[in-house]
Chain A
């Protein structure tokens, strides 16, 4: 499967801090990128997606995409204990419906 790499963590941040999550991908032709959150024992739920180079903001979340570097990141501002979960990066391969996931980064927000 196409490689999608994430630091598995765990990543711990204090409440109110910024959490930074990173993802790299191997398929240079990839066109769309998704961040999902997954609580233990639950299915993934979409946080946001990004298609174009640059930043995309949605509330406390900002996705950043750099296609030249094959890198996508997620910033979570004002982190809350409820943000504690595993964050999965997903990448849509070029010209296909394949959707591949990274291993995920486990985030813990400490009150």
Chain B
């Protein structure tokens, strides 16, 4: 059974049109992450939550926002997608630091 679920698997959005990606988990983990991964590159940490505490990476563009309304769900909002935002977006969860992170299947975002 999938434990970290991302929806949708594939998302096509228009240049400049806001888009939201979602992630849910059945593991009751405290920490949730959003990564951006472009082809042949490392997953780049955008931000993470520890419970409701939000931690934004210094180099994450303001165009990217996140919400975590409860333990199970986390959303990534891209306010005005550009062509350079086309990537795989990965959600991951874990209990806390120094523990294994579990990944969802990812959402592949295309910007047209």
Contact = CB atoms under 8 A, between A and B. Distances in A.
Contacts of A96: 55, 97
Interface in A91-111: 92, 95-104
30 contacts: A1-B57, A31-B98, A32-B99, A34-B100, A43-B90, A43-B104, A43-B106, A44-B90, A46-B101, A46-B102, A90-B101, A92-B97, A92-B98, A95-B97, A96-B55, A97-B31, A97-B96, A98-B48, A98-B57, A99-B45, A99-B48, A99-B92, A99-B101, A101-B35, A101-B43, A101-B44, A101-B45, A102-B42, A103-B41, A104-B42
B72 interface: no
Interface in A41-65: 42-46, 49, 51
B82 to A, nearest CB: 21
